[in-house]
Chains A and B, each alone.
Chain A
Amino acid sequence: MTTLSPEQQTSQRMTPDQIQAVPDPDGGPGEGRRRPWIFYTLLGFLTLVFIAPLFYMASTSFKTPEDAISTVPQWIPAHPTLQAYERVLNDPATPVGRWFLNSMVAATANSLLAVSTATLAGYSLARIPFKGRKVLFGLIVSTLFLPPVVLLVPNYLTLNYVGWLDTLLAVIVPGAAGAFGVFFMRQFFIGLPKELEESAFLDGASRWQSFYKILLPLARPAIATLLLLTFLTNWNDFLWPIYTLFSPEQQTLPAGLSTLQSANSVRYDLLMAGAMISAVPVLIIYAFTQRYIVEGIASAGMKE
């Protein structure tokens, strides 16, 4: 065991440097390309186009009102201050803290309601051979093509009738009726092998037991992805809340930003602070889960 034969030496694991040194047969942009610097300059420029506006939003939220509208852009605040945040969080006309809480409650409740009902229905439509299944699924999928604006006026009248206007229920419940979640979960359950459940049924498990104990644990990644997408959709929803929530203390962040903008149309320090309070939670979630979000959306596209 003291010396290695030549054969053993070549089958040894390569160090990362060695791996990189191997020329890429597909012709990566670095080696072998005629002008790698153009490639990286282009990517760098694009990255700047996407990052710089967001950076400037963050920067302005820490500026004084005067610095925010200085004609020479300040990428770094000359007089860093938290006064914009203090002001928007304490102004009773624009209670941004309350909006944050409302958005949190609404998005959490809406995504839990939507995903739990969609998971049950998606499982049923994928796995239980019941009468009327095809017609029902056809009907649900066809509503994916219904423009949401068609439902706008009638749903508003329904909410008015049950007294949910200007309450968080208005942004929690109707949005959970969308067909996308059912479609998404059904596609997932159809992809699982049938044998998983068959053996459970032979052991005398009921439908519910087989669903709850066998399929549901396997569905965790799909459920997590759908929860994320639903949460983000509700958190960002704009059209519905601006028409159904009127009082300042009932609004969610996107609707509130619109109120904030009408109240302080050129106080960009306040507007950027408000925008930051809406954006940062989402960006934090995105930073940790971007792979699931991006791939969840990409897979939804591939399944069509």
Chain B
Amino acid sequence: MSANSSTDRRRPQQSRASAWAGRIIAGLVIVFFVLFFVVPIIWLLIAPTKDGRELLLSQPFAVGGWEQFAENWDSLVSYQGGLIWTWLGNSAFYSLAALVLTLVISVPAGYAMALTEFRGRRALLSLTLVVMLIPSTALVLPIFLELSAVKLIGSPLSVILPFSFFPFGVYLTYIYFSTTISRDLLNAARIDGAGEFRVFAQVAMPLATPVVALVGFFSFVANWNNYFLPYVMVPGRKAPVQVGLAEMLSNVPQFNPTNVASTMISLPTLALATIVSVAPVLFIFLFSQRFLVSGMTAGGTKE
């Protein structure tokens, strides 16, 4: 690392100025994008404090009143006798059950494809990619037929099982294992006499916390937000909250004008329902961020 003395002298001034310029630009970029992502959310958070009329007529960021919020909340929880809670419970059940199953089948598979050699490895990888590229519209009917043939339509399994097929997660795991764990590490364990399963469980898994958290989280969110599959498989009281929201939408005059009837939901109540439906996902993200992004800085990979 021989450094030219003249460039050394030049560098400190240059780098200080450009470093500051760089920081300002970076700061501006961050501020711009924070606003970009957050402004509509702020609007959404303020919406339930107004009534339908105010929502249309007042300033977007003007806050309504607590009384109005209480009214909207009341409207939401009394809809169909507290159906919102049933929906949330269903969502939680389906997403969590699928999450567990997803992790059980995906993490070992990703490990296997990244760090072991077996016949069909490449085939699995390519097939996974191909399947991920197939428009889901094409898969709905065959999956419906399969589940109907085993009489599962309408039962929770009809959503949990398809949810657990999460090729995106398998690929994440594959990429993670193939970029962060080296074979030398595993071979060291093998030389020490560890069986293959031990190598996986005691060497690879402890280092896999980030990807397990990532796959678990994304699986949970994808399942929580999935609309069409539960819409077709588990309608009515077994529906998750996304399907429920669409049902509530059909009672808002703005969206369903030609059939305005006895049950009317106002837009602010719908906004509140939307917030309630996304809150669990955000809470989980908030508390699991640490695990999601921690890298594997503990060496063991180099030299």
The answer to whether A and B interact is no
